[in-house]
Amino acid sequence: MKLNSYRPVVMAVATAILGALLFSPHSPAVNSLEAQSSSFNALYLSTVPEEYKKLEETFASFKESGANTVMLKPRIRNGVIDRDALTNVVFLSHQAGLKIFVIVPTRSLDVIQFHPDWEDMRCDLGSGALQPTGRLDLFNPSVVIFLTGLFKELAAYSVDGILLDQDFFYSDVEGAGPSALAAYRQKFGSRLSFSKAFLKVEGADVLSVEEYGECFWNWNELKKNTIKDALQTITQTVRAVNGSIKIGIPLHLPGVVRPIDDRAHYSYDMFTFRRSDIDFFWIPVLHRDIRARQSLSYKRSIEIFSQTVQEAAALVKDPARTIIAMQTVSESGRPLPFHEIEMVFNQARKAGEPGIALIVETDKLLPAILTQKMYKRQQD
């Protein structure tokens, strides 16, 4: 998504003035933000306008939406933040009395072209050969240093929250780069054997692992610890810059795709994360995409959405720390019927009132009267 810089000098000055107001104990802007409901009622802007005037109009329209937060992905090219664009969205969001949460990729950042040795490897289940993943390897200390610097810079822009994107995980076949394999050999005194790690592989067009060996679980434990350590480093650095910032990590549910052990497929340690100071766990549950992909009926897609949301809240064990992102536009780009949006919204609420983020597009914004009604219902 593209964000161009406009009025850079004026906006930089305006942002500096706004920052002083926001952090003043007597600031009306701070009072406005703090006075909002504690519920997380967000609009997730899937595409960001290129023109400043359109961006300004979009954020102005959000002011009457009933939402208290805007989520979006800032422009990051070659691992470098578009500083002017980020300044604009922070300024406009706070001007509208809304918090701004930025969604930041981790392992899929496009910097491998400059640092080929940072790339992770995966085991091909068919041949057993190692193949590049196109993703960053968190086992490599240089990668963690780079990511920490990026997140530190983002935190300095007075964003209210940072959400790690859905690429923050290792699949069962990933994590086979040189640093990971060296860590395995050092800890367990032997080379990782993929044939012993993946005991049973099945599938016609797409192969998948049906049974894992002991050495896989040893390897998986290393991946879980690597993810946990990287997250801890990033979190501590970010909060040293901005002590009030909220941090969220992606939630992965294996049942959304197929029943598989989440420990194996995502290398996630939810028990540890739940006990940490992470503020939010977020997941997009795209019922229309699921419906199209699996050729489901409308009724069945709503049932899967409801089941997934319930599973998400149960996994986090705290609905207030759970954010569900839901569609308002179909997979073909058509706005969904309002009654369907309300139906899905109400299904999400049944999971114990989690935070909800309506995914919207600039040219297909929802009427304020609709979002006001839904968010008011969320707060009541």
**69-72 vs 76-77, strand pairing mode:** unpaired
User: Does residue 184 form part of some domain?
Assistant: no
Strand boundaries in the chain, DSSP class E: 41-45, 69-72, 76-77, 80-81, 99-104, 119-123, 130-136, 161-164, 198-202, 208-212, 246-250, 280-284, 322-327, 355-360
pLDDT in tens, 30-49: 333 333 345 899 999 988 88
pLDDT of residue 27: 35
pLDDT of residue 377: 67
Rounded CA gap, 330 and 321, in Å?
A: 27
User: Does residue 74 form part of some domain?
Assistant: yes
Write the CATH number for 247.
3.20.20.80
How far apart, in Å, are the Cα atoms of 154 and each of 148, 158, 272, 291, 298?
10, 8, 25, 36, 40
Residue whose tokens read 């720390």:
321
User: Does residue 287 form part of some domain?
Assistant: yes
User: Does residue 63 form part of some domain?
Assistant: yes
pTM (predicted TM-score): 0.86
Residue 332 near residue 300, CB atoms below 8 Å: no
How far apart, in Å, are the Cα atoms of 281 and each of 106, 323, 324, 373?
16, 6, 9, 25
**Nearest residue to 79 via CA among 55, 59, 57, 105:** 105
pLDDT of residue 253: 72
**CA distance from start to end of the chain:** 35
Quote the crossing angle between the two packed helices 83-95 and 8-22, to the nearest 10°: 50
User: Does residue 306 form part of some domain?
Assistant: yes
User: Does residue 117 form part of some domain?
Assistant: no
pLDDT of residue 25: 35
**Residue 145 CB burial class (10 angstroms; 0-12, 13-18, ≥19):** exposed
pLDDT in tens, 203-238: 888 898 999 999 999 999 999 999 999 999 999 999
Read off the tokens for 42.
């967000």
**Nearest residue to 89 via CA among 129, 58, 65:** 58
User: Does residue 175 form part of some domain?
Assistant: no
Give residue 138's identity as a one-letter amino acid code: L
Rounded CA gap, 90 and 267, in Å?
A: 33
**99-104 vs 69-72, strand pairing mode:** parallel
Kindly give the parts of the chain with pLDDT less than 70: 1-38, 254-262, 377-380
User: Does residue 43 form part of some domain?
Assistant: yes
Rounded CA gap, 299 and 307, in Å?
A: 12
Residue whose tokens read 């993703």:
135
The angle at the Cα of 234, spanning 233 to 235, to the nearest 5 degrees, equals 95
**Residue 156 CB burial class (10 angstroms; 0-12, 13-18, ≥19):** exposed
Read off the tokens for 20.
């002083």
Three-state secondary-structure class, residue 210:
strand
**41-45 vs 69-72, strand pairing mode:** parallel
**76-77 vs 80-81, strand pairing mode:** antiparallel
pLDDT of residue 380: 60
pLDDT of residue 142: 97
> What are the residue ranges of helices labelled H in 65-177?
83-95, 141-155
Task: Count how many domains the chain has.
Answer: 1
Which domain, by its residues, includes 325?
Answer: 8-111+141-170+242-379
